[in-house]
Amino acid sequence: MMDEKKPGRDWPEKLLFWFDGHKRDLPWREDKPRNPYHVWISEIMLQQTRTEAVKPYFNSWMEKFPTIHDLAEAEEADVLHQWQGLGYYSRARNIHKAAREMEEKYDSSLPDRKEDILALPGIGGYTAGAILSMAYGQREGAIDGNVLRVYARLYQVEEDILKSRGRKEIEGLVNETLPQRAGDFNEALMDLGAEICIPKNPRCSACPLAGECRAFRNGKEKELPFRTPKKPPKEEQAACGIWIEEGKVLLHKRPGRGMLASMWEFPMVLAETEEEARKGLEQLLHGKAVDFLWHYKHIFTHRIWHMKAYPVEGASVPEGEYRWFTPEEYREIPLAGPHARLAAFVERIVY
C-alpha cells in the first residue's frame, strides 16, 4: 500500500538549518544585504547553465558593467560580446533592454514591486521571485527546475511537472510551505536540488529531508519527477568557409532577428547532408571548398549542428553583411557560440 503520509510541517525549518551550514560559496551571494542587480544577472546566467561555468562569466560581467547604469550605457555589441559562450543571446539583449528601461523609469535600480519587475524585458515569474525574495526580503517563491524536482519527490507528485496540472500542484505546495525566510528558503531548495536531490541518482543518504520524502519512502526517488519524453532535436549539417587574405578572415553578420541574431560567424550553409552543405557553401562563395580542417558537434536546445570547416579557394565575397577582420578585431565582436571555437582553431593554425 502506498505511503500517504505527507512531509511534516517543520521540514522547511530543517532545510534552512541544513542550508545555514552547507550553503554554496558563490560570488553573487557575497553582498549583505543582497544586491538586486547581482541577483538578477546571476539568475539569468544560471538558466540552463551549470553554476561552476557561470562563476567566471558573472565576475567578468561585473567588472565590465558594475552597475545597471553602466550596462544601460553600453553598446549592444559589447553586451553580446560579454555574454559570448553562454548561449541564448536573446537573454543578453533583454538584459540590455531592461537596463535601459530601468535607467529611464527607476533611476538605474531594480523596482521592488512584482508587477513592475515582471513588466521588464526577459524577466518571468521565477526571476522576479528570486529578486523579490533574495534581494528585497519579500515572501515570494522562485520555482525553477530544482524546486520542481525537490517538491515532486518530497510530496510524490506523479503528474508531469512541465505541464500545467503538475506545475500548478507544485506551485500550490510552494505557497503553502514558504517560510518568512523566503529568500534563504528558495536558495536552499536550489542548493539541495543542485547537489543532493539531483536528476538521475539522488544522494538520498545525505539529504536532510530523507525522513520527510514520500518518494524516498516508497522507492520512487529515481522515477520522479515525471516528464513526458521530448522530441529529439533536429540535426543539421553545417559547412563553414575559412577564407583568409592579407591576415584577415571573412566573417558574416547574422540577421537581426531569429537564432543567434546579429552575431558574427564564418560564412556557413546548413543542409540535411554533408555534401549538400559543402556544395551550398561553394555556391555561396563562388569558390572551391577543399578538404575540411575542423569539425565540431554543437548542441542547442532544439537542434544539433554537425559542423565542418573548409578552406575556400577562388572565392568572391557575396552580397550582404560580410567583413574582413584581423584576430585582434574579431576578438572584440560577438561571435556566434561555435564560431568562436572555429576562430580559436584558425588562430592556432594560421597566425
Q: Which residue numbers are catalytic?
A: 43
Strand-pair category, 303-313 with 244-245: unpaired
Residues 6+ away with beta carbon under 8 Å from 86 = 45, 49, 54, 57, 92
Strands 294-299 and 288-289 turn out to be unpaired
Q: From CA 129, how far away is CA 143, in angstroms rounded?
A: 8
User: H/E/C letters for each residue in the chain?
Assistant: CCCCCCCCCCHHHHHHHHHHHHCCCCHHHCCCCCCHHHHHHHHHHHCCCCHHHHHHHHHHHHHHCCCHHHHHHCCHHHHHHHHCCCCCHHHHHHHHHHHHHHHHHCCCCCCCCHHHHHCCCCCCHHHHHHHHHHHCCCCCCCCCHHHHHHHHHHCCCCCECCCHHHHHHHHHHHHHHCCCCHHHHHHHHHHHHHHCCCCCCCCHHHCCCHHHCHHHHCCCCCCCCECCCCCCCEEEEEEEEECEECCEEEEEECCCCCCCCCCEECCEEEECCHHHHHHHHHHHHCCEECCCCEEEEEECCCEEEEEEEEEEECCCCCCCCEEEECHHHHCCCCECHHHHHHHHHHHHHHC
